[in-house]
Amino acid sequence: MKQVEIFWTGGFDSTFRMVQLSQMDVSIRPIYLRDFTNRKSEKNELEAIAAIYDCLRVHPKTKATFLPIQLVGGEEFRFSNNVPNEHIEMPSNETAKKTWESMRSKIDKNLSIVREGKIFRGTYGLNRPMSFSYQYIGISAYANAHNANVELGFTKSDAAIRKTLECFGKIIKEDDGRYCLLKDATDPDLYEMFKNIRFPIIDLEKTEIKELYEKWGYQDIADLTWFCFKPIDGEPCGQCVTCVPAIREGMAHRFSATALQRYAKFEEREKSVEYLEKVEKMYDTLLSSEIRKQFL
Ligand SMILES: [Zn+2]
């Protein structure tokens, strides 16, 4: 049976890919990437993951087999005692060491990408400059350390990362239906970061995914997904980098009235002159003239 490795956050998109995979005759190895910082949402994400895993195992359409979820990363591979449950497997010291070493070199590489002005601005709401966040560095480091293809479930709607890949590289479809970067047509630094990453749902919009969850009979699982990066009182905040697009893409029903009020305030702030000026200033500082040309 074919084994598929997948980065799983417990969020709406990567969980959708888990649903797709669960209907196939494969063995699934989910990987959860921990943060350096004590990310507030980690507990919620792991709880969502455990609950979803339980549901997927008993779903009538399930054909796949499920391997324990592997935890990767974190500050010096700090492992808390209260998070793991029976689904989660700790990496062996050897695995942890290899990934950590690879991650350190990727962080250096990422800094050089930023220094050289290879910075792309994302398109959530207002355009913002971005370099690769910890998440992508960690994902890349893990996949390269293991020299294995690992799936990353982001969609056509995730403009920031998709456009970064398209701007500095070429995305192609492989025979197995997954997408990847074409070496000869991609910036070497970018290729090095993503050479082992496969993008299985990059051709789907978030709205299509939303419909498919329902059509296939997985609405209960969609409702268990977690998407807030900075929860407040254990609930989605409504104003963070992941809540804002979720609300804008039709998931307002998952938020409390208080969270939606925060979102309204965020929208107000975003329109203010001070905010626009601040963003413009950031561009001026961060974007090299060469890169700027591509967007003017
Ligand atoms: Zn949030």
Q: 175-209, pLDDT tens digit by residue?
A: 999 999 999 998 776 787 789 999 999 999 988 99
List all residues 6 or more positions away from 34 whose beta carbon is below 8 Å from its beta carbon.
42, 71, 72, 73, 74, 78
Q: How close is the Cα of 261 to the center of ligand 1, in Å? A: 13
> DSSP letter at 294?
T
Decide if 218 is inside a domain: no
Q: How close is the Cα of 247 to the center of ligand 1, in Å? A: 10
Q: How close is the Cα of 227 to the center of ligand 1, in Å? A: 7
Decide if 177 is inside a domain: yes
Count other C-beta atoms under 10 Å from residue 291's C-beta.
Answer: 19
CA 291 to chain centre: 25
Residue with tokens 């070429």: 170
Count other C-beta atoms under 10 Å from residue 86's C-beta.
Answer: 9
Residue with tokens 């070497």: 188
Q: How confident is the model at residue 78 (pLDDT cuts 50, 70, 90)?
A: very low
Beta strands (DSSP E) in the chain are 2-7, 26-34, 65-66, 69-73, 88-89, 120-122, 128-130, 150-152, 171-173, 179-181, 197-198
Predicted confidence at residue 160, as pLDDT, reads 66
Decide if 140 is inside a domain: yes
CB-based contact 215:226 (threshold 8 Å): no
Predicted confidence at residue 143, as pLDDT, reads 83
Decide if 229 is inside a domain: no
Q: How close is the Cα of 114 to the center of ligand 1, in Å? A: 26
Decide if 273 is inside a domain: no
Q: How close is the Cα of 239 to the center of ligand 1, in Å? A: 5
Q: Which helix (H) or strand (E) holds 71?
A: strand 69-73
Domain that holds residue 18: 2-206
Predicted confidence at residue 287, as pLDDT, reads 46
Q: How close is the Cα of 246 to the center of ligand 1, in Å? A: 9
Q: How close is the Cα of 43 to the center of ligand 1, in Å? A: 14
Q: How close is the Cα of 121 to the center of ligand 1, in Å? A: 21
Residue with tokens 């969850």: 213
Predicted confidence at residue 206, as pLDDT, reads 86
Decide if 184 is inside a domain: yes
Q: How close is the Cα of 42 to the center of ligand 1, in Å? A: 12
**What is the rounded average pLDDT for all residues in the chain?**
77
- Is residue 39 scored above 70 in pLDDT? no
Per-residue pLDDT tens digits for 254-295: 999 999 999 999 888 877 777 666 656 655 554 444 444 443
Least confident of 43-47, 91-95, 210-214: 91-95
Q: How close is the Cα of 24 to the center of ligand 1, in Å? A: 32
Q: How close is the Cα of 249 to the center of ligand 1, in Å? A: 14
Decide if 139 is inside a domain: yes
Least confident of 108-117, 150-159, 236-245: 108-117
Predicted confidence at residue 291, as pLDDT, reads 44
Predicted confidence at residue 130, as pLDDT, reads 42
Percent of the chain scoring above 70 in pLDDT? 69
Decide if 245 is inside a domain: no
Per-residue pLDDT tens digits for 134-169: 677 677 777 877 778 999 998 988 766 777 777 778
Cα torsion 176, 180, 183, 188 to 10°: value is: -160
Q: How close is the Cα of 264 to the center of ligand 1, in Å? A: 13
Number of domains observed in the structure of the chain: 1
Q: How confident is the model at residue 105 (pLDDT cuts 50, 70, 90)?
A: low
Q: How close is the Cα of 23 to the center of ligand 1, in Å? A: 30
Q: How close is the Cα of 222 to the center of ligand 1, in Å? A: 17
Q: How close is the Cα of 266 to the center of ligand 1, in Å? A: 11
Q: Per-residue pLDDT averaged across 221-228, rounded? A: 92
Rounded Cα distance between 254 and 268, Å, is 21
